[in-house]
Amino acid sequence: MAASRSTELIAGLPRQLLRDVRGLSGNERVAFMGAAVIVGSFILPWYRAPVSSDLVQTGFGAFSFAEGALLLIAGATAFLALEAGGGYVPPRPLREWGLLVTAGGWAALIIVYRMIERPDFKLTETDQAYEIHYGIFVALAGAALIIAAGLRMRPRERAKRPVAPDGRPAPAENPEVEEPEG
């Protein structure tokens, strides 16, 4: 009987994930889609052999620490988007938009690194670097989507902050922490 419950739980995960994604706001959905684009780009050809356009290497085929870091960033971005869509607010001083912009920027930096530092193509006496193919640009577009989602969130979060009468942002109201007088 315990096996049937766990099977039901696993079988219900895709439906639950789809329900959670449908419940996301526009910016969280864009960030989630950017993470999905990065992961999806791994099955596309990232590199092409210099001797033939038919010889390609996918993101999974060229897997290294950089691609592992990209998968980790995409997973963390998707997790943050789903949690924030469910009402989670990161603790201060973190902001959702700042975390997304940082994640997208870091992913873009890793992708640009992989554009510069390509794997070597070795076939008999040929020892040349692979040429860049379209899959790596798809991954870069996914990173750009994450950055764009974070930047679109910033004005909305700034509008939520209270403003003091002199025009400066008011100090955060936290009953546990007393402001020093002086």
Residue 32 in any domain: the answer is: yes
pLDDT band at 114 (very low <50, low <70, confident <90, very high): very high
**3-state secondary structure at position 127:** strand
Residue 2 in any domain: the answer is: no
Number of structural domains, the chain?
Answer: 1
Residue 25: CB atoms within 10 Å? 13
Residue 21: CB atoms within 10 Å? 17
93 contacts 50 by C-beta, under 8 angstroms? no
Cα–Cα distance between 115 and 140 in angstroms, integer? 10
Cα–Cα distance between 167 and 164 in angstroms, integer? 5
Mean pLDDT of all residues in the chain?
81
pLDDT in tens, 121-165: 776 666 677 888 899 999 999 999 999 999 998 776 666 655 556
Query: Domain residues for 141?
Result: 26-49+57-156
pLDDT in tens, 44-102: 998 888 777 778 888 888 888 999 999 999 999 999 988 888 777 787 788 888 999 99
Residue 38 in any domain: the answer is: yes
pLDDT in tens, 133-145: 899 999 999 999 9
